[in-house]
Structure 1
Amino acid sequence: MSKPLGYYTAYTPGDNSLLERLQEEYGSTFEKMTKREKLVILTVLASHIGCQLEGDVRGQIFDVAKQMRDELSLSDQGGVMEAIISQVRWGQNYEQQ
């Protein structure tokens, strides 16, 4: 079962923020969005955050992503996404030299 938006964000009920408006329109767990719509939002936000970071992406990472896309089940692809989101958010990242 999903936790409400406020669990993951700085949203506070009654703060009249974008997060409050989104929760009112789409539900506290975005239950009024399809899986495809949620994945579009995830893609846009991940691209935006990635573009804010300095450094290059090693070419082999694109190969790894293609292998994951081609060889992992949809469930495992979702699991990898969840693991990466947690690692990005909480700072478990390799530092390139």
Structure 2
Amino acid sequence: MSKPIGFFTSYTQGDGSLLESLQEEYGSTFELMTKREKLFLISAIAIQLCDQAPGRCREEIYVVGHQINSSLPQADRQGLIEALTNQVQWGRNLSDTELVPMK
């Protein structure tokens, strides 16, 4: 079962925030959005966060992205979104000075 957006964000009921507005319009678990709409929002947010993150991507990461999209089934790609989101939030992230090229 999905958890409400307040579980993942700073939203509290009655705060008058955009998060409250989104919950009122689309439901506490975004159940009133299509899968495509949810994926679009994931993409839009990720692009903006990536643009704001310091550093740059290694060239090989673009290749990895293509491999993921061309080789993995949908369920595994969705699982990777969840895994990567968890790692962005809670995992250790390399700094640009720690990067070691792939072999």
TM-score class, shorter: over 0.9
Identical pairs, percent: 49
- Specify every segment of 5 or more residues in structure 1 that has no aligned partner in the other structure, as ranges: none
How far apart are the structure 2 equivalents of 1:35 and 1:12? 25
Return the alpha-carbon distance in structure 1 between the equivalents of residues 36 and 22 of structure 2. 17
Q: Which position in structure 1 is the counterpart of 2:56?
A: 56
Runs of 4+ in 1 over 2 A off after TM superposition: none
Question: Structure 1 counterpart of 2:63, which letter?
Answer: D
Residue in structure 2 matched with residue 87 of structure 1 by the alignment: 87
Of structures 1 and 2, the one with the larger relative CO (CA 8 A, separation 6+) is 2
Structure 2: unaligned runs, 5 residues or longer? 98-103
Q: Does 1:2 align with 2:2?
A: yes
Task: Give the structure-1-normalised TM-score.
Answer: 0.96
Q: Kindly provide the amino acid, as one letter, of the partner of residue 86 in structure 1.
A: N
Q: How does 1:1-97 map to 2 (within 5 A)?
A: 1-97=1-97
RMSD in angstroms over aligned alpha carbons? 0.8
Q: May I ask how many residue pairs the two structures share in their alignment?
A: 97
TM score, norm. by length of structure 2: 0.91
Superposed CA deviations along residues 48-92 of structure 1, whole A, max 9, x for unmatched, are 111111111100000001001011000000001100001111242
